[in-house]
Structure 1
Amino acid sequence: MAFNTRYGDTLSEGSIGSGAGGTSLDQGPRPLDQLPRLARDTTAENPWPVSIVSQKYHEAVQRWPGSWIEGQIVEINMRRATSGYITLRDNFEDISISVMGFRNFVALASNFHQGDRVVIHGKPDIWIKATRLSFVADDIRRIGAGDLKAQIDELRKKLKGEGLFDQENKVELPEFPKCIGLICAPQARAEGDVITNVNLRWPAVEFKVVHAHVQGAQCPQEIVAAIKKLDADPQVDVIIVARGGGSFEDLIGFSDEGVVRATAACQTPIVSAVGHEDDWTLIDLAADLRASTPTDAAKKVVPDVHEQWQLIANARSQMDMRINARIDNEIRVIEGYASRPSLTHPQTMLEPHQRFLDESRQRMELGLTRLVDDASLTVERLDASLTALSPQSTLDRGYAVVQAANGHVLDDASSVSPGDMLTLTLKHGEVVAEATAATPE
C-alpha cells in the first residue's frame, strides 16, 4: 500500500469508487470517488491520472514472485555503498534488463566486472516516479566468463599474434594537421565535442566528416568503409573515430575484426576516441593513438594555438637574448682592440721595425768596415809582395835588363853574337848598344 499525497487517500483497487463524469484538466486533482475503479471503466472524458496508472502497475508487479535470472554483465556501477546498478544482457538474444540492489547486494556484487556471466536473484519492481520497471536483486553468483568477452579476448590474442597491435607499426601524428577526418554518428554529441575543441585550440584546421552507425549490426561495415574513404583522401592528415560512452554491448562494434584490421592497415594516422576512459575496445589497440574521450582526442591531434604563441614568444626572447649577448661580446672585443696602444699611438707599431732597421744598418756598417779593412790589409800585403818582387826593384839596386832586338830578355851570353843590337833597361831610361863580344861561362 502506498500513499498518494495528491489525492489524499490510500490507493487500492477496493478503495476507488465508480466514476461520475469528466472533469476539466485545469480544475485540479479529482477526488478518488470520482475516478474509475477499473481500467475498463476509463474513458477519454474520465481518464486515470498518470500517478494512478503508475501506482496500479506497482501494486500489480509487487505480487509477482521472485526468480533467478541468468545473463552477462554489460554495464556495472557499484561506486556507492548504499545502491548499485547492473545492465544484464541475455546470453543469446539482444535483450537487456536493468538490475538494481541495495547495501547487501552491493557488497556481493562489488567484485564483479563487465563481461562476467552471472545468475541473480531478485524481484521485479516499478519505480513509481518514472513508471520504470527494474529488477531489485538480493543475491548474485558467478557462473563463468561472458561469451562476448571471451570471444573478444580470443580475437585480441589472435590479432596480437599477427602483429596488428605492435608499437613499431604505429604512425606518428602530424604536429600541425591541416585537415582532420572525423568518423562519428550523425548529429552526435561527439562530433560537436571534437570540432568545438579543435577550433578552440587550432582554428586553421578543416574537417571532413563521415557519418556512420556507431552501434548495432550496421556499425562494423560502415566504420570500415569510412576509414577506407578517409584514408584514400590525400588531403586528410589524421583520422578520428569518435563515439560517446555506452554499455559494453553498445561498443561491441568497435571490437569487430574487420574494424580492427581496417584500423591497423590505415596509412593515415588514426586516433580512437570511443566511449569513456574506463571503456575499452579492440580498435583502441590497433589505432595509432587512443584518446579517453572525443574531447581528449581533440586535444591530442592539434596543438594549442596559445601554447604555440607562447613557444614563439619564448623562442624570440631567447633569440633576442643571444643576439644581444653576441653584440655585447663583439662590442667588448672592439673596445679592447680600440684601447690597444697600437691604435691609440700608431707610431709604436713602427718602433720595433725602426729598431730592427737601425740595428741592421749598424751591423751592415760594421761588417762593411771590417771587409774594407781586411781588403786594405790584403792589398797592402800584396802591394808589398809585388813591390819586393818587381823587376823595378832590381833595377833600383843597379841592375839592368838586357833584351835582344826581338824583345826577348837575355839571360845567357851564348845567345848573343858580336854585332847584335841590345837594349839595356836601367833604373832610369834605356840604352841601346851593340855587342862587340860575348863570353859564355
Structure 2
Amino acid sequence: MVWNNNNGSGGAGSPLDRPRTADELPRFARDTTPENPWPVSLLSQHFHDAVERWPAAWIEGQIIEINARRTGTVYLTLRDSFQEVSISALGFGAFAQKARAFQQGDRVVMHGQADLWVKSTRLSFRADDIRRIGSGGIKEQIDELRKKLKGEGLFDESNKVPIPEFPTTIGIVCGPGARAEGDIITNVNLRWPIVHFAVKYAHVQGPQCPTEVVQAIQELDADPAVDVIIVARGGGSFEDLIGFSDERVVRATAACVTPIISAVGHEDDWTLIDLASDMRASTPTDAAKRVVPDVREQQQLVASAIGTMSMRMRAMVDNESRLIEGYVNRPSLTHPQTMVESHERDIADAVRAMRIGLTRIVDDAQMHVEKLKATLTALSPQSTLDRGYAVLQNASGHVVDDAGDVHVGDELTITLRHGTVVAQAQATHV
C-alpha cells in the first residue's frame, strides 16, 4: 500500500514530499516522529479498524431529528433522555423503511454498531433495528408549556406590535461570531444602508442559552434608540434549538415592548419564541429582508409619486389656464362697457318714467290749485264788492249787518270796490 502525505512541509528531497509505502511508515503510533509522521488517512483507517471491533449494542433515547428524504437511507439524531448528550445514527434498507414510521420526539430503543467514516473520520451509529417505547418527554413538556402560555394569552394576535416600516436602529440577539449576525447586517445594508445596529451576544444553545437570551432581550428593550429586535440563530437540531422554547425566553419575548422578530433555525424549525414574537421569519436572512424596505423599491415609489404629483399639477395648471382663457375671451372683459349698457338703459328708462310721473303730478297739483283759487276767488268779499256791494263797519271794526245796531251819529266805515268812505249815521230804519 502507498500512503500519500504531500503537505509541502518538508524540504527538497524530503520523504514527506512523495507518497510513502507501508514499509516506510512507523508500525505503531508510539514510533511516529515529526520527521516520520502518520498520514491522516492512516490514522483514520486505524480508528475505523478499531471501531469495527466494537460490539453491537441496544441504545435508548429520544429522536430529536430525523431525515428520511433519500430512498433507502435514514439519518437520525438520538438524544439521551436525561443528559445533554446526543449521537448521530443512520441506517439503510429494511431499517430505513421501518424508521420512516417514526417522528421527532419519539422515544426509541435502537440496535446497531458504531461506525467510522474514514473520509471525514466521523463517528456515527449504524443501526439495523428500531422500536418505539413512548412519546418523547421533552416534546410533551414543550407542548404542555405551549398550551399553558396560550391559555394565558401570550400568543394572542392582539398582543402583537407592528414592525416599524423605517427603523433607524436594529437590535440583534445572536451567538458570538455567528453567521446569522453577518447575514442580517449584510442583507439589511444592501436593502437600507442607513440603519444602525445594536448587537447583544448570548449562547444560543445549551444550559446558558435561556438566561443570556432573556438578558439580551431585556437590555435591548430598555434601549430607547432600538426600534426593533431580531433574535437570530442558524439552523440546528431539535436539541440545539430547545433553549428558544424555554418559558423564560417566551415570557421575555411576550413582555418585550419593542417590536421583536424571531429568526431561529430554518423554515421547517419551530420554537415557542416564534409564537410569542411579533413576527416570525423563516431564517435570519428572511428577517433582514422583512425588517427594512428595499431602497430601490422605495426610490421607485418616490419617483412614481413625484411623476403622479407632477402630472396632476400640470393638469390643474392646464385647467386653470383654460378657465383664464375663457374669462379673457368673455365679452365682459373684451368689451367691458357692455357690462353697464343694460344698467344705463334701465337708469335712463327710470329717469324718463320719473320725469313723466313728476310732470303729471305737478300738472294735477297745478289744476287743483287753480280750482281752489277760483273757488276762493268766488267766495271772497272782494268779489262781492266788485259786484257793487259795500261792507259797513262800526267804529270798533265790526261788520254791521243789522240797522238796529246803528245809532244816529255813529261813525261808520264803508268799504267799496275801490277804497273806503267814512260817514256818520243820520237816521236808521229797522
- Does residue 210 of structure 2 align to residue 198 of structure 1? no
Equivalent residue for 1:28?
19
Distance in 2 separating the partners of 1:436 and 1:41: 204
CA RMSD of aligned residues (A): 2.6
Equivalent residue for 1:130?
120
Question: Is residue 42–residue 48 contact of structure 1 (8 Å, CA) maintained in 2?
Answer: no
Equivalent residue for 2:348?
358
Describe the SS at the equivalent of 2:123.
strand
| TM-superposed deviation, 1:106 | 4.0
Q: How does 1:203-242 map to 2 (within 5 A)?
A: 203-242=193-232
Name whichever of 263-272 and 213-222 sits farther off: 263-272
84, 95, 99: which one aligns with 1:94:
84
Name whichever of 384-393 and 47-56 sits farther off: 47-56
- Does residue 68 of structure 2 align to residue 78 of structure 1? yes
Equivalent residue for 1:412?
402
Q: How does 1:267-416 map to 2 (within 5 A)?
A: 267-416=257-406
Amino acid at match of 1:211: Y
Describe the superposition over 1:158-187 as per-residue Cα deviations: whole angstroms up to 9, x where unpaired. 222222222222222222222222111111
Distance in 2 separating the partners of 1:302 and 1:358: 79
Amino acid at match of 1:204: I
Describe the superposition over 1:138-164 as per-residue Cα deviations: whole angstroms up to 9, x where unpaired. 444433321111111111122222222
Question: Is residue 203–residue 209 contact of structure 2 (8 Å, CA) maintained in 1?
Answer: yes
Amino acid at match of 1:30: T
- Using structure 1 for the length normalisation, give the TM-score: 0.87
Equivalent residue for 2:10?
none
Question: Is residue 85–residue 99 contact of structure 1 (8 Å, CA) maintained in 2?
Answer: yes
| TM-superposed deviation, 1:58 | 4.5
| TM-superposed deviation, 1:52 | 5.0
Equivalent residue for 2:170?
180
Distance in 1 separating the partners of 2:335 and 2:308: 40
Distance in 1 separating the partners of 2:295 and 2:93: 49
Distance in 1 separating the partners of 2:25 and 2:419: 193
Q: Which ranges in structure 2 are unaligned for 5 or more consecutive residues?
A: 4-13
Amino acid at match of 1:415: D
- Does residue 415 of structure 2 align to residue 425 of structure 1? yes
Distance in 2 separating the partners of 1:131 and 1:266: 45
Distance in 2 separating the partners of 1:132 and 1:331: 83
Describe the SS at the equivalent of 2:142.
helix
Q: How does 1:125-164 map to 2 (within 5 A)?
A: 125-164=115-154
Distance in 1 separating the partners of 2:405 and 2:30: 199
Distance of aligned partners of 1:40 and 1:321 in 2 relative to their CA distance in 1, 3 Å threshold = closer
- Does residue 121 of structure 2 align to residue 116 of structure 1? no
Q: Which ranges in structure 1 are unaligned for 5 or more consecutive residues?
A: 8-22
- Using structure 2 for the length normalisation, give the TM-score: 0.89
Distance of aligned partners of 1:43 and 1:187 in 2 relative to their CA distance in 1, 3 Å threshold = closer
Distance of aligned partners of 1:112 and 1:439 in 2 relative to their CA distance in 1, 3 Å threshold = farther
Equivalent residue for 1:13?
none
Amino acid at match of 1:196: T
Distance in 2 separating the partners of 1:195 and 1:126: 39
Amino acid at match of 2:108: V
Between the two proteins, what is the percent identity of the paired residues? 67
Question: Is residue 69–residue 119 contact of structure 1 (8 Å, CA) maintained in 2?
Answer: yes
Distance in 1 separating the partners of 2:108 and 2:380: 152
Distance in 1 separating the partners of 2:391 and 2:286: 137
Question: Is residue 72–residue 97 contact of structure 2 (8 Å, CA) maintained in 1?
Answer: no
Describe the superposition over 1:398-424 as per-residue Cα deviations: whole angstroms up to 9, x where unpaired. 222111222211111111111112222
